[in-house]
Amino acid sequence: MSRKLPMLAPQDPIDDLEGVEKRFGMPRRQFLSFCVGVAASIGLSSGAAGAVAKALVAAKRPSVIWLHFQECTGCTESLLRAEHPTLEKLILDIISLDYHETLMAAAGHQAEEARKAAMAANKGKYILVVEGAIPTGANGAFCKIGGKTAIELVKECAADAAAVIAIGSCASWGGMPSTSPNPTGASPVAEILGKPVLTIPGCPPNPYNFLTTVVHYLVLGQLPELDAKGRPKFAYGRLIHENCERRAHFDAGRFAIQFGDDGHRQGWCLYKLGCKGPETYANCPSILFGDVGSGSWPVGCGHPCIGCTEQGVGFTKPIHSLAKLLTVTPPTQFARPAEEQGQGSTLATVATVAAVGGLAIGAGARLAKNIGNHPDAVDEPTAADKPKA
């Protein structure tokens, strides 16, 4: 279904972008190029770049309340290292980050008052971002902020939010804190709220997946299309395996067997070392990490994907275990990546094979005897068949 947008004709002047150089710290032309890239990321045509630019410049910055629970702050750390735009441009010019325990200057009662004030002023319009799993054990006593348990706090903030975004694998589906035996009862946000939420899993997730989701909300007034697990399809619509630079080696049956062997040094496929790319949906090989150039993602650096964006894979399956091949297998002329192991011979199977073999030998002998015989032909009597004198 097509979306109607306030498109700008290519020749139309964008008067309200004249101050973009000062505001965003980049030339006007570079800013428009950035908008073209954002439009493409959310599945819009390049002609929508004008609408994206208008939204970023003219639209009211959405208020964002960002909560922290059971996590390592890695999601925030990845956001700190975003370059297009940088963090200060993101939180000062694109969104209004009104509450974030790690980044805000206020602390204690001042911080909690800032959160309540932002929620009251933007009731029904603010975006709630949750980082980290929520402990439910011991009635939530494992995590308290401002005198409230994590359960109470997330329910309070979600009540009047326009949208709830679970950022990182911990908030999305429990992540590392929820691994067995899970003594704190770490749970995902959706389970606590009892309703689906937008999830941006990863450990950490790519900050541009979060940024693009926010821009989509600014431009279209709604969140992007989601898959069955609540993930934006623009970022989690394809298997990592489909875009991996080592995919050609997989198809050709070339696999690294050990870290540091010849295959590993030559960039061969890491499937046999436990790469979970064939069963993990994410755009890691497409947009990479850290803005440092090609190969800047785990598989590109020589380590198997651990499936951190996939529930039931990351932090659940051992790193060395083989991935389930969901869609793609090597061509039949090559050996399979992993041969299935049988249970060996038993007396019953040996007897059955022997019986079948015996029948086959008998049938073969009969067939050999009849080869070349016409149905109407009469066998010549042998010496044994002739009557004795």
Instruction: Classify residue 374 as exposed, middle or buried by CB count within 10 Å of its CB (0-12, 13-18, 19+).
Output: exposed
> Can you tell me which residue has the tokens 């390049």?
46
φ, ψ dihedrals at 129, nearest 5°:
-115, 130
- 243, amino acid identity: N
Amino acid at 4: K
CATH code of the domain containing 268: 4.10.480.10
- Kindly state the tokens that stand for 284: 């890691």
CATH number of the domain that residue 200 is part of: 3.40.50.700
pLDDT, position 213: 87
pLDDT at 94: 73
CA proximity to 245, closest of 196, 207, 290, 301: 301
Domain with 157 in it:
62-204
Q: State the pLDDT at residue 374.
A: 47
- Domain co-membership, 70 together with 198: yes
Q: Do 70 and 197 sit in the same domain of this protein? A: yes
- Exposed/middle/buried for residue 376 (C-beta within 10 Å: 0-12, 13-18, 19+): exposed
pLDDT of residue 46: 62
Query: Is position 306 within any domain?
Result: yes
Tell which of 204, 225, 256 closes a domain: 204
State residue 203's pLDDT score: 94
Check whether residue 158 and residue 89 sit in a common domain: yes
What does pTM read for this prediction?
Answer: 0.71
Q: How many domains does the chain have?
A: 2
What's the CA gap between 359 and 347, in Å, rounded? Answer: 18
Q: How far is CA 182 from the centre of its chain?
A: 23
Residues near 325 by beta carbon (within 8 Å), at least 6 away in sequence: 278, 279, 337
Three-state helix/strand/coil letters over 97-147: EEEECCCCCCCHHHHHHHHHHHHHHCCCCCEEEEECEEECHHHHCCCEECC
Can you give the pLDDT at residue 12?
39
Same domain, 257 and 179: no
95 and 192 co-located in one domain = yes
Closest Cα partner for 176 from 74, 283, 285, 288?
74
Among the candidates 319, 335, 351, a domain finishes at 335
**Alpha-carbon distance 255 to 270, whole Å?**
6
pLDDT tens for each residue of the chain, 389 residues long = 333 333 333 333 344 555 666 666 667 777 777 777 777 665 566 666 777 776 666 656 788 999 999 999 999 998 888 877 777 777 667 788 899 988 888 888 999 999 999 999 999 999 999 999 999 999 999 999 988 999 999 999 999 999 999 999 999 999 999 999 999 999 999 999 998 899 999 999 998 898 888 888 877 778 889 999 999 999 999 999 999 999 999 988 899 999 999 999 999 999 999 999 999 999 999 998 888 888 899 999 999 999 999 999 999 999 889 999 888 666 555 555 565 555 555 555 545 545 555 555 555 555 445 544 544 444 445 555 555 54
